A = this chain, B = another copy of it.
Amino acid sequence: MPLPETQIPGRLQAYFSERGIRITQQRRAVLRVIETATKHLDAGQILRKVQRVDASVDRSTVYRTLQLLKRHGLIDELDLMHIRGEGHYYERKMNREHIHIACLRCGKITEFVTSTYDKLKQQVEKDCHFKILVSRLEVGGYCSACRQ
């Protein structure tokens, strides 16, 4: 994941306190893990990282926090073509919307930004009279290396 320079640690926590959403030790730990992630993490990975800070944190708390973040549009939920298992992956929502490209052979995930994607979404909004709040484009196939 890009982890752009614009990503200030503590941003999620700031969002919470601005909105009067309670900050607990458990939530603080989850937010830290998500903010400092350098790749897409699934719920299990997030749980394990959180438990290295506080082993008593329950899995339901992590799931509830992920739901909260999702509801507020602070993270995106991805399938990444279910390369491994059938669970979901999470990433901090960034400035630029990007496409996820998953190689079905080596498992590499590539992110791709293009204005064509923005145009396509605008077209959907116009043609379907629909207000888009979330969107997700994922593709699976073979990367150049895996095609020899």
**Interface residue ranges, A against B (CB under 8 Å):** 77, 79, 81-82, 86, 88, 99, 101, 103-104, 110, 112, 114, 116-117, 119-121, 123-124, 127-144, 147
Contact B123 A114 (CB under 8 A): yes
Picked from B110, B134, B139, the residue with its CB within 8 Å of the CB of A139 is: B134
Pairs across A and B, CB under 8 Å, 22 listed: A79-B79, A86-B88, A101-B124, A103-B130, A104-B133, A110-B130, A112-B124, A112-B127, A112-B128, A114-B123, A114-B124, A114-B127, A117-B120, A120-B120, A120-B137, A129-B143, A130-B139, A133-B140, A133-B141, A133-B142, A134-B140, A135-B140
Contact A116 B114 (CB under 8 A): no
Rounded to whole Å, the gap between the CB of A144 and the closest CB of chain B is: 4
Report Cα–Cα, A143/B133, bound state, in Å. 11
Contact B134 A135 (CB under 8 A): no
Known pairs A79-B79, A137-B137; A142 contacts B120 (CB<8 A): no
